Amino acid sequence: AQTVTQSQPEMSVQEAETVTLSCTYDTSESDYYLFWYKQPPSRQMILVIRQEAYKQQNATENRFSVNFQKAAKSFSLKISDSQLGDAAMYFCAYRTATNFGNEKLTFGTGTRLTIIP
Amino acid sequence: GAGVSQSPRYKVAKRGQDVALRCDPISGHVSLFWYQQALGQGPEFLTYFQNEAQLDKSGLPSDRFFAERPEGSVSTLKIQRTQQEDSAVYLCASSGRLAGGAQYFGPGTRLLVL
């Protein structure tokens, strides 16, 4: 079974600075998807960024980028120019690339990010 | 619809009561998922449908939990004889064939069993 580990329960960053959230995973599969989701306090889970394992290029979405190291099974999220609205719980998630019958997401335990004004 | 919707948003039940939680997925999304999220934890998979077929129910914690999606759109998660340990946020998510694996979540139903 796949597992996802987020070793940083809490992180904080000064507004406008850059922060990196760590995620490692364990799988025997070669093709899969990785995601970062953001969950603000009492609000719904929002997709931040998505990476396909067969693509070597790291995904980027505006201020959010990932460092995907397939051999090391590492998938970190970098947030540049941190803003107050980035404060949230961040979850790393894994999904196999097999489409039929096995689409569930496996989540890590999350990292709570605090932005210091 | 514009997004995944869930109702009710909050539910308080007495131990032993039955509850039903509803999920309306994004229009046209064929896959629908239910997750359980305990306080301060990541979501845990419960069950998943592709259209009306329940393809995986391996995460349902007991036979008190039952989910259905009879017409391939709206889904209901039913919990019979609720217990205090069922208190959690229940999240619904949906994805389409072209979504590239991404799931889109609803706001969740917060269930408190007293």
CATH of the domain at A40: 2.60.40.10
Residue of B nearest to A36 (CA): B102
Burial of A72 (0-12, 13-18, 19+ CB in 10 A): exposed
B59 touches chain A (CB under 8 A): yes
Q: Which residues contact B69 (CB under 8 A, 6 or more apart)?
A: B32, B49, B51, B52, B54, B75, B76
The answer to whether the Cβ–Cβ distance between A95 and B106 falls below 8 Å is no
Cα distance between residue A51 and residue A44, in whole Å: 21
Interface of B with A in 83-112 (CB under 8 A): 91, 93, 95, 100-108
The answer to whether the Cβ–Cβ distance between A43 and B107 falls below 8 Å is yes
The separation between CA B71 and the C-alpha centre of its own chain, rounded to angstroms, equals 16
Burial of B6 (0-12, 13-18, 19+ CB in 10 A): buried
Interface of A with B in 3-62 (CB under 8 A): 4, 33, 35, 37, 43-47, 50, 52
A68 touches chain B (CB under 8 A): no
Over range B44-62, report the average pLDDT.
Answer: 94
Cα distance between residue B29 and residue B50, in whole Å: 9
> Quick one: which of A16, A45, A40 has its CA closest to B33?
A45
Give the per-residue pLDDT at A61: 92
Cα distance between residue B99 and residue A28, in whole Å: 24
Residue B61 has pLDDT above 60, yes or no: yes
- Provide the percentage of residues in chain A whose pLDDT is more than 70: 97
Q: What is the token pair recorded at A23?
A: 């995620």
Specify the CATH number for B5-113; select among 3.30.70.270, 2.60.40.4070, 3.40.50.11810, 2.60.40.10: 2.60.40.10
The answer to whether the Cβ–Cβ distance between A104 and B55 falls below 8 Å is no
Over range A57-73, report the average pLDDT.
Answer: 95
Q: Where are the domains of chain B?
A: 5-113
Domains held by chain A: number: 1
Residue B104 has pLDDT above 80, yes or no: yes
Give me the residue from A44, A93, A101 closest to B107, CB to CB.
Answer: A44
Over range A47-51, report the average pLDDT.
Answer: 95
B54 touches chain A (CB under 8 A): no
Quick: pLDDT tens for B68-95.
Answer: 999 999 999 999 999 999 999 999 999 9
Quick: pLDDT tens for A68-115.
Answer: 999 999 999 999 999 999 999 999 999 988 766 678 999 999 999 999
Residue numbers of the domain that contains A13: 3-98+106-116
